[in-house]
Amino acid sequence: MCGGGWRGPGQQGGIGNLPGLQQAGGYLGSIAILMIGGQLIGQTIGSFFGGGNIQSQMGLYGAIAGLAAGIVVASLAAAQVGSATEFVGFFAAAGAAGPAGPIILGIAAAYMIAQTIWSFTNGNGDTRERTVNFKCMPWQPPISTGDEVCSKCNKNGLGTPCTKYKCESLGSGCRLLDQQGANADNPNPNGDNAGVNNEIPEVSNPVCIDLGKCGYGGGTPPKPELTVVSSGFSYSTIGSGATVKKSNGEAVRESDIINLTVSTDQYAFCKYNYYKKNFAAFDTEGELFNEGNYHTMNHTLSITIPWIEDERVQNNSGDELRLFIRCRDKCDKYINTDEYVVSFPINPSPNTTAPQIVNVTPTDPSYLPYGVNFSVLTVTLNERGKCKYDYNQGIQYGLMAGNFSEGDLSENGEAFYTWGPVWNLVGNSTTIYIKCQDMWGNNNTEDTPHTFLPTAEQLKITDYTPEKDFVRKKPITTEEPLVFSVTTNGGAFSGSTNCWWSLKGATIAADSFLQNLSTTHEYPITSQLNPGQHELTFGCMDQAFNLANITTNFSIEHDQTPPAAVRVFIEGSNIRILTNENAQCFYNTTYIPNCNFEQGTRMDSIFTTEHSLSYQYDQTYYIKCKDEFDNQNDKCAVIVKPGIF
């Protein structure tokens, strides 16, 4: 070996001057020793972790670590840094040890390599800690963009009717207009429900609109406009109002009935008044349209033109009826201050036209109930009037024998009606003849005939269930209901009837059968009735008002005893359990005193007497059952332990 070692250019001394390394054969030899030692130690550690690929990888990592250690030593020595001499003192000492130097260097390399591999295998490498914050916040609907978005709730794509949840999920400002006439967040305390009914589309399918801007100065006064009048009449728009006349251009007449619709450009609540001077306070003055105080876009009303002498006419111009209409917007803030006016010019000349008979109830011909010889007729007219009848044809109005009441306005406000009894309806058929007279003395010259027919056979209930003294021992469920049924015969229409039932002392008191005008009727009871005896009455009626009823009784028995396991055995890889009644059984593999578990694993999908589950020989099974009346075992029905079978 060269005694002087290697020197860098211009250097007076080099690593060869370090006594130990010079004796070890120079720093290149030291690097080689470190690499070989590192590889051997890495492979040894790799074999401890399972050998194979891991052993090869550990050997590679050890060689790399040895190479790195040697380069560090060589670099520091070459730079002749004072601190380097101290740093590599250990290696120099190893070189000074003579033949033992490589062993000492190997031990040093092993220490460095072990530290590197330990850090690698235990994850103590270059790591950085980061803090990540998660927040679970309530879902928020999108920002509302107007009624166009909110109104999607009322379309069939989302299903009808619209609900509060559907509406408010469409946008932050979407709200339902409720049945009381104001939105649910801002109810109108002064409103009432007059005229509100389920035939109004906005009631059966509540309207979803954007109320998001109502609290920020949003909203505008509604703009009412007459859009529809009933047949036989027409209207023309004049300024901020309209005039209604007959279709031929003539003025309307006293007692004319006119149906009209006033539409608004937005959902609004409207009122009307005949006196403008008394229409200052919207909440306390004015009358409601048919829709009551419900917000809608169409507001309907039926007007009966009063007499010329009526104060509602006199307080205006003397020959004209006026409606002053005001509406409040969907935000319940803005009202049209200039009333929308609908005018009805009234013809003051006498009416010379006889009243028209619009309808007679019951229809012609009408059947009398079995054994009855009288009836009550209702005659509907197109104007206020009164009617008479006679058993002979062609009798003048004033000489007719029977009288009906003076006409009243019908409930829907669309016509007038008179009514009264008709007597002495005997024989196979009886026909009467009707004439009517209006308030001006104009009467019909032509008869309106109406025929009455007797019912030849009494209406009967010929069959029914449950029969008298029937006992129901099984539970009443949707799958196995208790069926009420009746069969009818006779009457005016060969047994065709509508029927109902009444259950005395039960939770379900009474209801109608599902079939209309039929001879057979069924009604399934699907909810459990109280145990004991029940009295059941059936009633049926046909279109001639023939009645039939019958009363029966039946009993409900409830089992009070939970099911019992009568046999337990192993069949193949399953535990089989037989119970003394239909039951559902559940099991748990965790011990709970008295099997008091709320939810176990279900063994059956139906109520049955045979139950099974997959069996593992080293597992304990805690089993309880319940019957169709929900009677449960108060303790375990069965406990299957290892080694029993």
Q: How far apart, in Å, are the Cα atoms of 276 and each of 272, 292, 324, 597?
A: 9, 20, 6, 74
Every domain of the chain and the residues it spans:
15-121, 142-349, 357-453, 460-556, 565-640
Report pLDDT for 360: 95
Least confident interval from 68-72, 85-89, 100-104, 333-337? 85-89
Which residues have C-beta within 8 Å of that of residue 53, sequence separation ≥ 6?
none
Alpha-carbon gap, residue 314 to 209, rounded angstroms: 42
DSSP conformation class of 282: T
Helices within 80-175 (DSSP H only):
82-87, 89-96, 101-121, 147-150, 164-170
Report pLDDT for 597: 72
Res 546 pLDDT > 90: yes
Catalogue the E-assigned strands of 38-197: 174-176
For the segment(s) 565-640, the CATH number from 2.40.30, 3.30.70, 1.10.1760, 2.60.40 is 2.60.40
Question: Which tens digits make up the pLDDT trace of 28-56?
Answer: 565 666 566 666 666 666 555 555 655 56
Nearest Cα neighbor of 611 from 542, 544, 645, 563 is 563
**Total count of residues recorded for the chain:** 645
Report pLDDT for 342: 95
428 phi/psi in degrees, rounded to 5: -75, -20
Class of domain 357-453: mainly beta
Report pLDDT for 391: 96
Check: CB of residue 488 under 8 Å from CB of residue 526: no
Question: Which tens digits make up the pLDDT trace of 499-517?
Answer: 999 998 656 678 999 899 9
Q: What is the mean pLDDT of residues 20-25?
A: 42
Q: What is the mean pLDDT of residues 153-158?
A: 70
What is this structure's pTM? 0.52
599 phi/psi in degrees, rounded to 5: -135, 115
Report pLDDT for 20: 41
Report pLDDT for 12: 41
Res 90 pLDDT > 50: no
Q: What is the mean pLDDT of residues 6-20?
A: 39
Report the CATH number of the 460-556 domain. Answer: 2.60.40.1220
Question: Which tens digits make up the pLDDT trace of 450-466?
Answer: 999 999 999 999 999 99
Q: How confident is the model at residue 257 (pLDDT cuts 50, 70, 90)?
A: confident
Res 567 pLDDT > 80: yes
Report pLDDT for 195: 36
Within 10 A of 458 (CB to CB), how many other CB atoms are there?
14
Check: CB of residue 622 under 8 Å from CB of residue 635: no
Res 440 pLDDT > 90: no
Res 180 pLDDT > 70: no
- Rounded to 10 degrees, the C-alpha dihedral 64/69/75/81 comes to 160
**Fold match flag (142-349 vs 460-556):** yes
Class of domain 142-349: mainly beta
Q: What is the mean pLDDT of residues 138-152?
A: 76
276 phi/psi in degrees, rounded to 5: -60, -40
Report pLDDT for 512: 93
Residue 80 CA from chain centroid, whole number? 86
Question: Which tens digits make up the pLDDT trace of 323-374?
Answer: 999 998 887 788 888 889 999 999 888 888 899 999 999 999 999 999 999 9
Q: What is the mean pLDDT of residues 512-535?
A: 91
Alpha-carbon gap, residue 167 to 10, rounded angstroms: 90
Report pLDDT for 114: 53
Report pLDDT for 387: 95
Res 76 pLDDT > 80: no
Report pLDDT for 196: 38
Alpha-carbon gap, residue 197 to 189, rounded angstroms: 20
